[in-house]
Amino acid sequence: MTPYDAGKIDVAVIGAGHAGIEAGLASARLGCKTAVFTINLDAVGNCPCNPSIGGTAKGHLVREIDALGGEMGRAADACTLQSRMLNLGKGPAVHSLRVQIDRNLYSQTMKHCLETCENLELRQAEVVSLETVEGLWKLTTRLGAVFTAKAVILATGTFLGGKIFVGDVSYESGPDGMFPAAFLPDSLHKLGISLRRFKTGTPARVLRSSIDFSELEVQEGDEPTVPFSYDTETPIENKTVCHVSWTNDKTKETILENIHRSPLYSGQISGVGPRYCPSIEDKVVRFPDKPRHQLFIEPCGLHTEEMYLQGMSSSLPEDVQIAFYHTIKGLEHAQIMRSAYAIEYDCCDPLQLDASLEFRELPGLYGAGQFNGSSGYEEAAAQGLVAGINAARKIQGKKRFVLDRASSYIGTLIDDLITKGVNDPYRMMTSRSEYRLVLRQDNADERLTPLGRELGLISDIRWEKFLKKQEQKQGEWKRTLSTVFSPSETLNQILVSRGTSPVTTGIKLCDLLRRPQITYEDLTEIDKDRPQLPEAVLESVEIALKYEGYIRRQTADIEEMRRVEKKLLPAGIDYQKITGLRLEAIEKLNKVRPENVGQAGRISGVSPADISVLLIWLAAHGAEEKEEASL
């Protein structure tokens, strides 16, 4: 290989998965000359695991990405096969959209988006080395191209040091039989980056015509559908259905008889797997009393006969896979097109990063997605967006962009990674947020679109639509406060039929909607003066009315949290010199290097007593207050 000078760029993004896509687009759209490198152009936006976007808490992330001006929501809407809103039987804080997507179409859509983006070059090349030279970054590809960049974003997914396992067979590989990034880990080690091994897996794909659907439960999509993106105006059509089946005693028996052949239990796999998405052999071993496990049979696209077996990932040998899949109703004669596999890969310890996702000790180098120890397309895309924004802003001499826990699930995700670290692949869940009633998916635009506009990622047309929606919400809120209904037989029939008490005096519309049993739809017959408003506006107003008291209390908690977040900790503080801190706290604080007292309090091993010591120390040494906003 003879190296040659391939030119200078502002931002280099290594990887074109979900993190790399959002990072590259954000950087380029903010005016930086950006290059996105991928080992295989056919794998841009690939979905090597499940062919879906969204899900519990993950749907919130997609809405937030879209509200800030990211791409994932628009692409998911354009490629939807089936749309479902999850958790509708629970409160609005946990309602989350999930869609089945056409996997190949999604990849093509994202690839074309990158190809047509101004300021962005998409290039098939394996980056094999990375080094810093006089404040800049030098990247060398396997074919000898040497690029000089002002900032670099590592979004390597599961390619970095990737290794596939199927039974006792293992080999170096990226997902879906792609080449791995085999050389870059050595370069990262030389930079002083701490890496660890994580593992994930995927189930087999089977031929549609070999499945017996006759006795399977059909899972229809929702009607009407709801889009992810605030830009999507054309109604989304459900084009297909999914099916549900279950494992049984024979499945369990087949797996347990061959468990010694699993690389998970033979010691071949050293990487730590995702706690909340275990393989089927893990489920059988960890939950021995559970008689059966559910699986979903989902299409991979309209123009492919591959079907995905959600919930059935495995690293057992191929012959064992065939045997246990054939024990399941509907799959007795299933023909496997792609075998299930586990994949090990390198990722960094995210405690090395700050809230902008920049390495504290390596200015201009950022991490995003599974490289940071997370799992999931949505978590990756969210981090990619933030890393891309911050890389561009650093180059442009602007303040970094940081989202706190009270602003978004994105802020919660990043804060968890950089303060708590990860022992296994991190998955976003609604329970991870203390402020989930405020951080609903229905108000993501209200929370984040003004920030996206200030950043420069929200178009004039989108901004005008946003302002109109906010005006409609404010107008409808005022109308509910001023509209009074007299007691009537019609009104009381509605109330009694919904299981709530009738009225004998006039009652405001807002007070009717505050009743848990009553919705806007219930009041259509008597609410004759209701303006023609989008369903999203009515939904938002109704939720705000029903949960007004809870939201007020949570808002007070947020104000207190932000008060503590303003108490900055000096960058060069030596915690060993602060009398009263416990040894564990000293060790953790010196490792994580929190930026403020709020972050310090969220570090595992730092107790409330340690925080009191820090507050006393800051008071004695003149605490600095953080005046900067999110931008």
Can you tell me the mean pLDDT for 487-512? 96
Is residue 30 packed enough to be buried (19+ CB in 10 Å), middle (13-18) or exposed (0-12)?
A: buried
Cα separation of 456 and 146, whole Å? 31
pLDDT given for residue 564 in this prediction: 86
> What's the per-residue H, E or C state across 305-368?
CEEEEECCCCCCCHHHHHHHHCCCCCCCCCCEEECCEEEEEEEECHHHECCCCEECCCCCEEEC
**Are the beta carbons of 593 and 586 closer than 8 angstroms?**
no
CATH number of 566-625: 1.10.150.570
pLDDT in tens, 106-117: 999 999 999 999
**Are the beta carbons of 600 and 569 closer than 8 angstroms?**
yes
Residues carrying CATH 2.40.30.260, the chain:
205-344
pLDDT in tens, 577-607: 899 999 999 999 998 999 999 999 999 889 9
- Report the chain's mean pLDDT, rounded to a whole number: 94
Coil/strand/helix, residue 625: strand
**Are the beta carbons of 340 and 348 closer than 8 angstroms?**
no
Q: Which residue has the higher pLDDT, 374 or 266?
A: 374
All residues at 6 or more sequence positions from 472 whose CB lies less than 8 Å from its CB, including other chains = 533, 534, 537
DSSP assignment letter at 426: B
All residues at 6 or more sequence positions from 436 whose CB lies less than 8 Å from its CB, including other chains = 93, 94, 430
pLDDT given for residue 267 in this prediction: 81
Other C-beta atoms within 10 Å of 415: how many? 19
370 φ, ψ to 5°?
-65, -20
pLDDT given for residue 623 in this prediction: 57
Token code pair at residue 401: 């962009």
Coil/strand/helix, residue 468: helix
All residues at 6 or more sequence positions from 306 whose CB lies less than 8 Å from its CB, including other chains = 205, 206, 207, 208, 299, 300, 337, 338
Residues carrying CATH 1.10.150.570, the chain:
566-625
Can you tell me the mean pLDDT for 415-425? 94
Can you tell me the mean pLDDT for 237-263? 96
pLDDT at 150 over 50: yes
**Are the beta carbons of 326 and 250 closer than 8 angstroms?**
no
pLDDT at 252 over 90: yes
pLDDT at 627 over 90: no
pLDDT at 26 over 50: yes
pLDDT at 528 over 90: yes
pLDDT given for residue 628 in this prediction: 46
pLDDT given for residue 217 in this prediction: 96
Which CATH number applies to 205-344: 2.40.30.260, 3.40.930.10, 3.30.2400.10, 3.40.50.300? 2.40.30.260
Cα separation of 39 and 172, whole Å? 14
How many helices (H) and strands (E) are present in the chain, helices listed first?
Answer: 20, 24
pLDDT given for residue 631 in this prediction: 63
Of 356, 114, 82, the closest CA to residue 218 belongs to 82
Counting other chains too, the contacts that 423-426 makes at CB distance below 8 Å and 24 or more residues apart are 423/272, 424/198, 424/272, 424/273, 424/274, 424/275, 425/198, 425/200, 425/272, 425/273, 425/274, 425/275, 425/370, 425/373, 425/374, 425/375, 426/373, 426/374, 426/375, 426/379
**Are the beta carbons of 592 and 352 closer than 8 angstroms?**
no
**Are the beta carbons of 411 and 434 closer than 8 angstroms?**
no
Q: Binning pLDDT at 50, 70 and 90, where does residue 161 land?
A: very high
Q: Which position has the token pair 């071993």?
A: 285
Q: Quick one: what percent of the chain has pLDDT higher than 90? A: 90
Answer whether the bond into residue 487 is a cis peptide, omega within 30°: no
pLDDT given for residue 271 in this prediction: 80
Cα separation of 611 and 603, whole Å? 11
Of 37, 31, 11, 42, the closest CA to residue 110 belongs to 42
Token code pair at residue 598: 């709020």
- DSSP-assigned states of every residue in 184-238: HHHHHHHTT--EEEEEEEE--EEEGGGS--TTSEEEPPPSS---S-TT--SPPPP
pLDDT in tens, 293-313: 999 999 999 999 999 999 999
Other C-beta atoms within 10 Å of 199: how many? 23
pLDDT at 237 over 90: yes
* Least confident among 51-65, 79-93, 301-315, 556-570: 556-570
**Are the beta carbons of 445 and 534 closer than 8 angstroms?**
no
pLDDT given for residue 624 in this prediction: 55
Q: Which residue has the higher pLDDT, 351 or 625?
A: 351
pLDDT at 6 over 70: yes
DSSP assignment letter at 272: B
Class in CATH terms, 469-552: mainly alpha
Can you tell me the mean pLDDT for 223-229? 95
**Are the beta carbons of 617 and 625 closer than 8 angstroms?**
no
Cα separation of 196 and 226, whole Å? 39
Residues carrying CATH 1.10.10.1800, the chain:
469-552
3-state SS of the chain: helix, strand, coil percent to 5? 40, 20, 40
pLDDT in tens, 40-64: 999 999 999 899 999 999 999 999 9
